[in-house]
Chain A
Amino acid sequence: MGRFLLRRFVSSIPVIIGILALVFALARMIPGDPCRAALGERATDEICDAYNERYGLNEPILVQFGIYITDVATGDLGESFRFGVPVTDLLIQRLPTTIELAAAALFIAIIVGVPLGIISAYRHNSKTDVATMIGANIGVAMPVFWLGLMLQYIFAVFLRDTPLALPPSGKLDAGLIPIPFYEAWGLPQNGFMEFLSEFTLMNSLVTLQWEIFQSAFLHLILPAVALATIPMAIIARMTRSSLLDVLGLDYVRTARAKGLRERSVILKHALRNAMLPVVTIIGLSFGLLLGGAILTETIFNLAGVGKTLFDAITSRDYTVVQGFTLVVAISFVIVNLIVDLLYTYLDPRVRVS
């Protein structure tokens, strides 16, 4: 197991360096001058020279890349051009919002998608099956920005002043200030503590700040539903087709011949084998959700990784683009690794070696 992990880790290094090089090059291919994007078009050449000097933008590209790789190797992702703060600080602030959103979306996608897939497979070719699959196809095809705007309009404007009303955007009601758990418990403040405290739901739950918890929960519903739609539809379709394959196998027929109840046949015998490809999809979805929440976060005005990345691209904040993309990429690699490990649990025939 240890050797497997080590091998996977080592083999992912070239991938990470490749991603770094690609992102570094792509960031610099965005048209426009970072100095004037940051300081306005009336910034003088003198000011821009000083700016470029400060951020090393006057060095040759290859030298800039060399410096960047060295810095990243020592854990320094650089300083945001726009905000003048370390990129790691921004990550500490923004990553928890995205993880919370992605986890909530994945949760919804699984608890709705898997049962839908099972029902669809169980009632194969029935009206229910057809309706579910049409729904899943619509879910895959529906643009997130459109769905997001519709959800916002229905729940925030149309249902305004009703018990079903939900806040249209943001993370908390205006003016609410959560107290970080380390402050509430008198613990020392450091980057890791701040990172944890930025998980607003968790932070408010463990410190019993119910008003904050309620507000954060309500604010999370609409973006999580919007973000969940596509993975939910994919999971439902994958569960259905995979389960249908398994249900046609001999051992299932044997189980039925033995007189087992259908529920038992499907949930205990067939589903486990059918879950292998579904787990792959779930793992990949989580990776995609972490990096792919740009639209959702922008529509719902959530200051997570996606929205920060979007803003960084428009303001040519190279270091933030690079740092955030790198973290998303690494997350993806790690999630893939976890999916591989999960296989061994689901299918003992698969060995990590």
Chain B
Amino acid sequence: MKRFSKLIVLVFVMALIAAACGSSSDDTTTTTAASGTDETTTTTAATSSTEAATTTVAASDFTGLMVEAACDDETNKSEINYIKAVDAYTVEIQLCQVDVAFPSKVAFSAFGIVPQEYMDANSGGGALVDAPIGTGPYMLQQWDKGNQIVMEINPNYWGTPAETDTLVFKWSSEAAQRFLELQAGTVDGIDNPGRDDFATILDSADLLLEERAGTNIFYLGLNRDKEPFGDEKVRQAMAMALDRPRIVDNFYPPGSIVAGQFLPPPIFGYTPQPTWYEQDIDAAKALLAEAGYPDGFDVTLNYRDVVRSYLPSPSTVGQDIQAQLAEIGVNVTIEVMESGAFLDASDAGDLTMYMLGWGADYPDATNFLDFHFGKNASDQFGAGFEDIWALLDEAASTPDPAARLVIYEAATQLVKDHVPMVPIAHGGSGVGYLADVTNAQASPLGNEYFAVMDPGGRDTFVWMQNAEPIGLYCADETDGESLRACEQITESLLAYEVGGTDVVPSLAETYEPNADGTLWTFHLRQGVTFHDGSTFDANDVVSSYDAQWDLNSPNHTGRDGNFTYWDADFGFKNNAG
């Protein structure tokens, strides 16, 4: 027995040694990797300075930065002409052309402001990926890669202090796992409960469900360059043939709604009227007969078998559309395509009828309507509609929001008349909380703001989302999981209202455009300090923006240096360099 126990011990010791030696290849590199492993568990060097909290920059001491580029496609693909620190607390941004959605873009969390001194000293934001510095209500305390992100309250926050001293981000890709954590009470809130768990949450007195309205659209695209969709009557018949509520009821999670038009309700530009056609099989058949297709026709339906929030189950939805169209004599053949090939083919206008969707980059109609139906849209619906172009151009050069809404209402009516597509659903989702969490919200943009939530008096708020953030310098990130974490730490000039999409002041207290909407002036908040104690001023704004804008800037560095959102929303300068 003695020898046996010795043997057991020996097996263990040797197995452990073996496993450690098993990583012999990394043993040999531990020395070289040592510097890199600073990232294993990163603690910010950020210190709080109570003195700095009220420091402002004397105007006489201030030398404002200015960065500019000629409005020229060769070297400046962007819509920006210059960014200028007029004084310590005023920033001017001159655009090359009018952009009515400019404030909506500026409010996005990818355009957070970071300290100029830090950026200059570190040649850009590479180090911010693991150790972000911002002005937000929380500061990074520790990022234990793979396990959790711990944030502590910012004691010098310019606004209302956060409700809890500590905010923890955890993650699990499994909906069942997240829900179990919530049921166990080990987390205070979870993102995206599984479809089947919505009812359980609603039935439980201990849990709370917030439905998240979708800022996306799923539609059935109809290419007017391909027969038989060259005839508007045929397209209108398709619109009347579909029972869209049936699709949403059967295949979409709670929180989803039937699309009444292309724009989702939370997006600026949405108007309650006009609403889409109701299902009317007889009218659809009559329209087909008028168009010369009394017995219907054969058509191919293309899609990619990729799950998106706007299309949670592509195959079943495809089959349902096939079955529904059969009722008016349209014989649908389903053809599933590889994702990349499908997107390329739809963009090129090669597909006759297809299922596709779109999610908001920023909450403004231009991101939806102009992108799909504007002059510069792809050929996905065939030749464009000039009457729609004219209205969208007019809306895009009308700074007054109320006037824009009137124009978008008319444009939406034209989309309904022409039927380049059939809008079907705005895919929703939800957020689950413990019932004692106050100010619980589900943001349509996925940027829940935890500083205002109180988890029943506990001093730590624990949030569990789908995945680990990839990096916390969100200028260079695109995934929602990273952006949500950044939202708690860094702030942009403007922000979206908590739980909504309206643009509200943040680091800029006020802002205004000039008469033609090409020059935007931002008046900055005074007395704001970064987490590292440095004072926030206009040069931080210029520096933060220039690091993203200028491909040749030494500060144009991040996790991978792509700055995808800047490129998409504003465009780069020095693109030829």
User: How far does the alpha carbon of A44 sit from the alpha carbon of B40 in the complex, in Å?
Assistant: 31
Residues 162-190 (chain A) with a chain B CB within 8 angstroms: 165, 167-175, 177, 180, 189-190
* Majority secondary structure of chain A interface residues (helix, strand, loop or mixed): helix
Shortest beta-carbon distance, B308 to chain A, in Å? Answer: 10
Shortest beta-carbon distance, B373 to chain A, in Å? Answer: 19
Decide if A130 is an interface residue (CB 8 Å cutoff).
Answer: no
Kindly list chain B residues whose C-beta atoms are within 8 Å of the C-beta of A94: 146
User: How far does the alpha carbon of A50 sit from the alpha carbon of B34 in the complex, in Å?
Assistant: 28
User: How far does the alpha carbon of A341 sit from the alpha carbon of B560 in the complex, in Å?
Assistant: 47
Query: Cβ of A156 and Cβ of B184 under 8 Å apart?
Result: yes
Decide if B294 is an interface residue (CB 8 Å cutoff).
Answer: no
Q: How many residues of A contact B (CB 8 A)?
A: 92
Query: Cβ of A40 and Cβ of B185 under 8 Å apart?
Result: no
Query: Cβ of A167 and Cβ of B184 under 8 Å apart?
Result: yes
Kindly list chain A residues whose C-beta atoms are within 8 Å of the C-beta of B202: none
Kindly list chain B residues whose C-beta atoms are within 8 Å of the C-beta of A107: 12
Given A194-B40, A335-B18, A345-B7 in contact, is the A39-B478 Cβ separation under 8 Å? Answer: yes
Task: Report which of B14, B147, B174 forms a contact with A172, defined as CB distance below 8 A.
Answer: B147
Decide if B141 is an interface residue (CB 8 Å cutoff).
Answer: yes
Interface stretch, picked from A62-70, A119-127, A253-261, A297-305, is A297-305
Kindly list chain A residues whose C-beta atoms are within 8 Å of the C-beta of B186: 156, 167-168, 170, 173-174
Residues 123-154 (chain B) with a chain A CB within 8 angstroms: 129, 141-142, 144-148, 150
Query: Cβ of A41 and Cβ of B343 under 8 Å apart?
Result: yes
User: How far does the alpha carbon of A76 sit from the alpha carbon of B177 in the complex, in Å?
Assistant: 35
Given A40-B478, A345-B7 in contact, is the A190-B170 Cβ separation under 8 Å? Answer: no
Query: Cβ of A299 and Cβ of B16 under 8 Å apart?
Result: no
Query: Cβ of B34 and Cβ of A189 under 8 Å apart?
Result: yes
Query: Cβ of B15 and Cβ of A103 under 8 Å apart?
Result: yes
Interface string of A325-344 (1 = CB under 8 A from B): 01110111011011001100
Query: Cβ of B181 and Cβ of A327 under 8 Å apart?
Result: no
Q: How many residues of B contact A (CB 8 A)?
A: 73
Shortest beta-carbon distance, B197 to chain A, in Å? Answer: 13
Decide if A99 is an interface residue (CB 8 Å cutoff).
Answer: yes
Q: Which of A72, A84, A342 has the most CB atoms of chain B within a 10 A radius of its CB?
A: A84
Task: Report which of B12, B39, B470 forms a contact with A82, defined as CB distance below 8 A.
Answer: B470
Q: Which of A88, A290, A307 has the most CB atoms of chain B within a 10 A radius of its CB?
A: A88
Kindly list chain B residues whose C-beta atoms are within 8 Å of the C-beta of A283: 11, 15
Kindly list chain A residues whose C-beta atoms are within 8 Å of the C-beta of B20: 99
Query: Cβ of B150 and Cβ of A327 under 8 Å apart?
Result: no
Residues 85-108 (chain A) with a chain B CB within 8 angstroms: 85-86, 88-89, 91-95, 97, 99, 102-103, 106-107
Kindly list chain B residues whose C-beta atoms are within 8 Å of the C-beta of A157: 180, 183-184
Kindly list chain B residues whose C-beta atoms are within 8 Å of the C-beta of A217: none
What is the chain A residue whose CB lies nearest that of B166? A175
Kindly list chain B residues whose C-beta atoms are within 8 Å of the C-beta of A83: 470
User: How far does the alpha carbon of A271 sit from the alpha carbon of B2 in the complex, in Å?
Assistant: 12
Decide if A24 is an interface residue (CB 8 Å cutoff).
Answer: no
Kindly list chain B residues whose C-beta atoms are within 8 Å of the C-beta of A191: 26, 29-31, 33-34, 37
User: How far does the alpha carbon of A42 sit from the alpha carbon of B150 in the complex, in Å?
Assistant: 31
Kindly list chain B residues whose C-beta atoms are within 8 Å of the C-beta of A33: 340
Query: Cβ of B462 and Cβ of A175 under 8 Å apart?
Result: yes
Query: Cβ of B145 and Cβ of A149 under 8 Å apart?
Result: no
What is the chain A residue whose CB lies nearest that of B184? A156
Kindly list chain A residues whose C-beta atoms are within 8 Å of the C-beta of B146: 93-94, 97, 303, 307-308
Kindly list chain B residues whose C-beta atoms are within 8 Å of the C-beta of A318: none
Decide if B562 is an interface residue (CB 8 Å cutoff).
Answer: yes
Decide if B10 is an interface residue (CB 8 Å cutoff).
Answer: yes
Residues 373-391 (chain B) with a chain A CB within 8 angstroms: none
User: How far does the alpha carbon of A197 sit from the alpha carbon of B31 in the complex, in Å?
Assistant: 16
Residues 145-180 (chain B) with a chain A CB within 8 angstroms: 145-148, 150, 166, 168, 170-174, 176-177, 180
Shortest beta-carbon distance, A52 to chain B, in Å? Answer: 12
Residues 42-62 (chain A) with a chain B CB within 8 angstroms: 42-44, 47, 50-51, 54
Decide if A243 is an interface residue (CB 8 Å cutoff).
Answer: no
User: How far does the alpha carbon of A95 sit from the alpha carbon of B24 in the complex, in Å?
Assistant: 12
Task: Report which of A103, A160, A194 forms a contact with B12, defined as CB distance below 8 A.
Answer: A103
Interface string of A213-228 (1 = CB under 8 A from B): 0000000000000000
Kindly list chain A residues whose C-beta atoms are within 8 Å of the C-beta of B15: 103, 106, 283, 286, 335, 338
Shortest beta-carbon distance, B6 to chain A, in Å? Answer: 9
Query: Cβ of B462 and Cβ of A327 under 8 Å apart?
Result: no
Query: Cβ of B177 and Cβ of A177 under 8 Å apart?
Result: no
Decide if A206 is an interface residue (CB 8 Å cutoff).
Answer: no
User: How far does the alpha carbon of A44 sit from the alpha carbon of B181 in the complex, in Å?
Assistant: 38
Decide if B514 is an interface residue (CB 8 Å cutoff).
Answer: no
Decide if A14 is an interface residue (CB 8 Å cutoff).
Answer: no
Kindly list chain A residues whose C-beta atoms are within 8 Å of the C-beta of B343: 41
Query: Cβ of A334 and Cβ of B33 under 8 Å apart?
Result: no
Query: Cβ of A290 and Cβ of B22 under 8 Å apart?
Result: yes
Kindly list chain B residues whose C-beta atoms are within 8 Å of the C-beta of A75: 25-26, 28-29, 32
Task: Report which of A41, A43, A335 forms a contact with B339, defined as CB distance below 8 A.
Answer: A41
What is the chain B residue whose CB lies nearest that of A290? B19
Task: Report which of B4, B26, B34 forms a contact with A91, defined as CB distance below 8 A.
Answer: B26
Shortest beta-carbon distance, A122 to chain B, in Å? Answer: 15
Query: Cβ of B1 and Cβ of A76 under 8 Å apart?
Result: no
Decide if A319 is an interface residue (CB 8 Å cutoff).
Answer: no
Q: Which of B19, B177, B478 has the most CB atoms of chain A within a 10 A radius of its CB?
A: B19
Decide if B27 is an interface residue (CB 8 Å cutoff).
Answer: yes
Decide if A232 is an interface residue (CB 8 Å cutoff).
Answer: no
Query: Cβ of B40 and Cβ of A93 under 8 Å apart?
Result: yes
Known: A84-B560, A156-B186, A299-B177. 19 other contacts (CB 8 A): A39-B562, A40-B564, A47-B567, A88-B29, A88-B30, A88-B33, A152-B180, A156-B180, A160-B185, A169-B172, A170-B147, A175-B166, A175-B460, A180-B41, A190-B30, A191-B30, A195-B23, A298-B173, A345-B7
The residues of B with any CB-CB pair to A shorter than 8 Å are 1, 3-4, 7-8, 10-12, 14-16, 18-34, 36-37, 39-41, 129, 141-142, 144-148, 150, 166, 168, 170-174, 176-177, 180-181, 183-187, 339-340, 343, 460, 462, 470-471, 478-479, 559-560, 562, 564, 567-568
Task: Pick 6 A–B contacts, CB within 8 A, sort by A.
Answer: A93-B145, A95-B26, A152-B184, A194-B34, A335-B22, A341-B14
